[in-house]
Amino acid sequence: MEIKKLVEKIESHTDFSYEEIQHVVLDYTNGKISDEEFLPVVSAIYNNNLSDKCLYYLTKAMKNSGEILDLSPLGQTVDKHSTGGVSDTTTIVIVPILACLGTKMLKLSGRSLGFTGGTCDKLECFEGYKTDIPLDKAFSLVNTNGGCMMTTTANLAPADKKIYALRDRTNLVDNISLIASSIMSKKLATGADMLVLDVKYGNGAFMPNKKNAIVLGKKMKMLAKLDGKKAKIVYGNMAEPLGYNIGTLLECMEAIDILKHYNKKNPLTKACVRLAATCHALDKHIPYIFAKKKVIQVIKNGQALEKLKTMIKSQGGSIALFYQNYPPSQCELSSQQNGKVTGFETKLLGEIANELNHKYKTNKYGIITYHKIGDKINKKDKLMSLFCPKEEAMNITNKIKNAIIIK
Ligand code: URA
Ligand code: CA
User: Do 382 and 370 form a contact (C-beta atoms < 8 A)?
Assistant: yes
Please state, in angstroms and as integers, the Cα–Cα distance from residue 381 to each residue in 2, 15, 131, 326, following that order: 63, 59, 40, 20
Per DSSP, 103 falls in state -
Average pLDDT over residues 106-134: 85
Name 40's Cβ contacts closer than 8 Å, sequence gap at least 6: 3, 7
Q: Is the CB of 115 under 6 A from ligand 1?
A: no
Ligand 1 site-directed mutation target among 115, 173, 200, most atoms within 8 Å of CB: 173
Q: Which residue minimizes the CA distance to atom 3 of ligand 1?
A: 183
Among 112-126, 162-176, 336-350, 378-392, the minimum mean pLDDT is found in 112-126
CB 66 within 8 A of CB 158: yes
| pLDDT, mean of residues 103-121 | 81
Ligand 1 mean position, distance from CA 182 (Å): 6
What is the rounded distance in angstroms from the CA atom of residue 205 to the CA atom of residue 106? 25
Q: How far is the CA of 62 from the centre of ligand 2 (A)?
A: 22
Contacts of 46 (CB under 8 A, 6+ apart): 172, 175, 177, 178
Per-residue pLDDT tens for 272-306? Answer: 999 999 999 999 999 999 999 999 999 999 999 99
How many whole angstroms separate alpha carbon 110 and alpha carbon 244?
A: 22
Same domain, 32 and 93: no
Q: How much is the average pLDDT of 363-372?
A: 95
Cβ proximity of 366 and 245 under 8 Å: yes
Distance from the Cα of residue 103 to its chain's centroid = 20
Task: Decide: helix, strand or coil at residue 220.
Answer: helix
Distance CA 89, CA 402 (A): 25
Residues by chain with Cβ below 5 Å of ion ligand 2: 171, 174
Mean pLDDT of the chain: 93
Whether 263 has a pLDDT exceeding 90, the answer reads: yes
- So what's the pLDDT on residue 113? 61
Domain's final residue, options 266, 295, 321: 321
Q: Which atom of ligand 1 sits closest to the CA of residue 179?
A: 6
Q: Place 116 in a pLDDT band, splitting at 50, 70 and 90.
A: low
Q: Do 80 and 29 reside in the same domain of the chain? A: no
CB-ligand 1 contact for 184 (6 Å cutoff): no
Q: Whose CA is nearest to atom 5 of ligand 1?
A: 179
Q: Provide the whole-model pTM.
A: 0.93
Please report the pLDDT score of residue 220 as a whole number.
Answer: 98
Confidence class of residue 1 from pLDDT cuts 50, 70 and 90? Answer: low
| Domain stops at, among 321, 348, 365 | 321
Shared domain check, 260 and 141: yes
Give yes or no: residues 104 and 226 share one domain. Answer: yes
According to DSSP, residue 340 is labeled E
Residue 326 lies in a domain: no
Lowest pLDDT segment from 1-5, 51-55, 128-132, 231-235: 1-5
Q: What is the pLDDT of residues 151-206, one digit of tens each?
A: 987 799 999 999 999 999 999 998 999 999 999 999 999 999 999 999 999 887 88
More confident residue, 321 or 402: 402
Q: Is the CB of 183 under 6 A from ligand 1?
A: yes
The CATH number of the domain holding residue 186 is 3.40.1030.10
Residue at a domain's end among 36, 63, 90: 63
Q: Are residues 205 and 89 in the same domain?
A: yes
Stretch 216-236: mean pLDDT, rounded? 97
Look at residue 96 in the predicted model and tell me its pLDDT.
98
Residue 34 sits in the same domain as residue 141: no
CA atoms of 97 and 293, how far apart (whole Å): 12
Atom of ligand 1 nearest to the CA of 186: 3
What is the number of domains present in the chain? 3
Q: How does 80-101 read in b/e, with b if 16+ C-beta sit within 10 Å?
A: bbbbbbbbbbbbbbbbbbbbbb
Distance 9 CA to ligand 2 centre (A): 23
Q: How far is the CA of 347 from the centre of ligand 2 (A)?
A: 15
Cα(203) to ligand 1 centroid in Å equals: 16
The pLDDT of residue 175: 94
C-beta 206 within 6 A of ligand 1: yes
178 three-class SS: helix
pLDDT band at 117 (very low <50, low <70, confident <90, very high): low
**Does residue 182 have its Cβ closer than 6 Å to ligand 1?**
yes
The two most distant CA atoms of the chain are separated, in Å, by 67
Q: Helix, strand, coil shares of the chain as percentages rounded to 5?
A: 50, 15, 35
341 and 265 in a common domain: no
Q: What is the per-residue pLDDT for 329?
A: 85
Q: For residue 14, give the CATH number of its domain.
A: 1.20.970.10
Asked if 171 and 32 sit in the same domain, the reply is no
pLDDT(325) > 80? no
- Find the domain containing 35 and state its range: 2-63
